[in-house]
Amino acid sequence: MKALTFRGRENIAYESVADPVIQSAGDVIVEVSSCAICGSDLHPYHEREKGLDHGCVMGHEFTGQVVETGKAVKLLKPGDAVISPFTVSCGQCFYCRKGLTSRCEQSQLFGWRENGVGLNGGQAEYVRVPLADTTLVRRPTTMTDEVAILLGDILSTGYFCSTQAHINPEDIQVVVGCGPVGLMAIWAAYRLGAQRVFAIDQVPQRLAMAEAWGAIPINYLEINPVDVIREATAGRGADQVLEVVGLKSAVRSAFDLLRPGGTLSAVGVCNSTHLPFSPTEAYDQNLTYRIGRCPARGIMEGIMDWAMEDADQLSSVFTHIRPLQEGPSAYHLFDQKADGCMKVLLKPE
């Protein structure tokens, strides 16, 4: 089959690789109808996260149809259209029973193989899905590929960020970062009852989309966001800040925007070794800090109806659609935010 593989720093190849095969009785093979490039794919792309094997098939955002099942698979059959979260989960361990499926005792991330161990990803014609009965969700016939892909990762992540923040309709919320996840957090905040959400970024196209989705845009290159938020809150600061970038500077900005007793909800993939604020600062602010990987499998079914109701709005984050064979150039396009690129949908042929 054809797939996009990791070949080193900023080097993605479109090449032939071995077809996936059933390895365990709970596996299925999915024929991919669409896949996407995620912001977290850029971490291995730039080698900010070390260890990814050369030749690993990239990607953890995909949807498609089951074409083969292992002997122990009971809930799925060939021909079923399915939604996949970005990690697999058993549905039975302590963490899965708590809804924290991203910390399943058997969790594996699609698109991450290190020293020969792990899962190939979904930026390919086919992908093997372990623990299929408890990982995959049947897709409604009226759901588009775009919505299915969003549910499996960034839409659930934006929702998770908002629920971690404990949105109160009477409060002021700020979203730091207006990329795809930030937009999903804005959508989720309003769905959870928010009345006034500010959105911070420097990219005009992203700020314009955030505004179109109801947020009040702040370009931090033109004005100090802290001044804007202080003015809007009688000098206090925001009640909740949703941080979706993961960079140390973004986390510090989020901290600076909060009022005493506020909540900082962080879902951006963070590679910093230390927090950009001290325990003393957090203590003095009575800070509530919540951070972690989204348990997408535990969330996506619960927000499916909302996602389908707002399908056109949510799918507008896909600004570019490309055939899978153009994946290497699509990575560059996405990374550079060229041509107004927000997010790329890839279609195997």
Query: What would the two tokens of residue 290 be?
Result: 């919540």
Amino acid letter, residue 294: C
Contacts of 182 (CB under 8 A, 6+ apart): 158, 175, 176, 199, 201, 206, 210, 242, 244, 245
Model confidence pLDDT, tens digit, residues 83-132? 999 999 999 999 999 999 999 999 999 999 999 999 999 999 999 999 99
Lowest mean pLDDT: which of 41-50, 61-70, 109-118, 201-210?
41-50
Q: Strands 126-129 and 137-138: what pairing?
A: unpaired
Quick check: 152 and 83 in contact, CB under 8 A? yes
What does the pLDDT look like over 116-172, one tens digit per residue? 999 999 999 999 999 999 999 999 999 999 999 999 999 999 999 999 999 999 999
- Give the pLDDT confidence score for residue 325 in this predicted structure: 98
Name the band, by pLDDT with cuts 50, 70 and 90, for residue 55: very high
d(CA 108, CA 28): 15
pTM: 0.96
Query: How far apart, in whole angstroms, are the C-alpha atoms of residue 141 and residue 266?
Result: 34
Q: Work out the average pLDDT over 235-261.
A: 96
For residue 303, which amino acid is it? I
DSSP state of 245: S
Neighbours of 272 (CB within 10 A): 11
Give the tens place of pLDDT for each residue, 19-35.
Answer: 999 999 999 999 999 99
Instruction: For the chain, list the domains and their CATH numbers.
Output: 2-153+296-347 (3.90.180.10), 155-291 (3.40.50.720)
Give the C-alpha separation, 59 to 81, whole Å: 19
DSSP run (H or E) holding 257: helix 248-257
Question: Does residue 349 surpass a pLDDT of 90?
Answer: no
Say what the pLDDT of residue 250 is.
Answer: 92
Q: Count of alpha carbons within 13 Å of 193, Cβ hemisphere only?
A: 8
What's the pLDDT at 51?
A: 85
Contact 233, 259 (CB under 8 A): yes
Q: What is the DSSP letter of 346?
A: E
Q: How many helices (H) and strands (E) does the chain have?
A: 14, 17
CA distance 302 to 54: 37
Average pLDDT score over the chain? 96
Work out the pLDDT band at 196, boundaries 50, 70, 90.
Answer: very high
Calpha distance 243→220 (Å, rounded)? 15
Q: What is the band of 59 on the pLDDT scale with cuts at 50, 70, 90? A: very high
The residues near 97 (Cβ < 8 Å, ≥ 6 apart) are: none
**Is 80 exceeded by the pLDDT of residue 271?**
no
Helix axis angle for 180-191 and 154-165, nearest 10°, is 50
262: helix, coil or strand? strand
